[in-house]
Structure 1
Amino acid sequence: MEPTILTSTMAHVPGPVTVVTTVDASGRRWGFTASSFSSVSLEPPLVLVCLGRRASTHTAFTGVRHFLVNVLAHGQVGVARRFATSGIDRFAAGDMESCELGLPGLPVACVRVACSTHSVVDAGDHSILIGRVEETHVSGRIPLVYYNRSFSRPVPARAADDQRLSALHLAGW
Structure 2
Amino acid sequence: MSTSEYARPDARVISPPDPATMRAVLGHFCTGVAVITGHDGTRPHGFACQSVTSVSLDPPYVSFCPAHTSTSWPLIRRGGKVCINVLAVDQRSICAKFATPGADKFADVSWAPGENGCPVLDGALASIEADVEFEHVAGDHGIVVARVTGLHAHTDRHPLLFYRGGYGGITVHD
TM-score by length of 2: 0.86
* Structure-2 separation of matches of 1:129 and 1:61: 12
How far off is 1:116 after superposition? 0.6
Query: Partner of 2:78: helix, strand, or coil?
Result: coil
- Please tell me whether the aligned partners of residues 47 and 73 of structure 2 are also in contact (alpha carbons under 8 angstroms): no
The structure-2 alpha-carbon separation of the partners of 1:117 and 1:16, relative to structure 1 and needing over 3 Å to count, comes to same
How far off is 1:67 after superposition? 0.3
**What is the RMSD of the two structures over their aligned residues, measured on CA atoms?**
1.3
How far off is 1:61 after superposition? 3.1
Q: Does 1:2 align with 2:18?
A: yes
Query: Partner of 1:100: helix, strand, or coil?
Result: coil
Say how many residue pairs are matched. Answer: 157
For residue 137 of structure 1, what is the aligned residue in structure 2? Answer: 152
For residue 170 of structure 1, what is the aligned residue in structure 2? Answer: none
Query: Partner of 2:79: helix, strand, or coil?
Result: coil
How far off is 1:56 after superposition? 1.1
Q: Does 1:17 align with 2:33?
A: yes
For residue 103 of structure 1, what is the aligned residue in structure 2? Answer: 118
- For residue 39 of structure 1, the aligned residue among 54, 59, 65 is 54
Deviation string, structure 1 residues 22-62 (Cα, Å, up to 9, x no partner): 012x4221100001100000111000111000111132233
Query: Partner of 1:39: helix, strand, or coil?
Result: strand
Task: Give the AA of the match of 1:7.
Answer: R
For residue 162 of structure 1, what is the aligned residue in structure 2? Answer: none
How far off is 1:129 after superposition? 1.4
How far off is 1:154 after superposition? 1.9
Q: Does 1:79 align with 2:94?
A: yes
* Structure-1 separation of matches of 2:123 and 2:46: 16
Greater helix percent: which structure? 1
How far off is 1:2 after superposition? 1.0
How far off is 1:144 after superposition? 0.7
Deviation string, structure 1 residues 76-132 (Cα, Å, up to 9, x no partner): 000000000112100111412222322111121100000011111111110111110
Structure 1: runs of 5+ lacking an equivalent: 160-173
Moved over 2 A (4+): 61-64
* Structure-2 separation of matches of 1:62 and 1:9: 30
Q: 1:113-128 to 2 correspondence within 5 Å? A: 113-128=128-143
Query: Partner of 2:116: helix, strand, or coil?
Result: helix
* Structure-1 separation of matches of 2:23 and 2:85: 24
Structure 2: runs of 5+ lacking an equivalent: 1-16
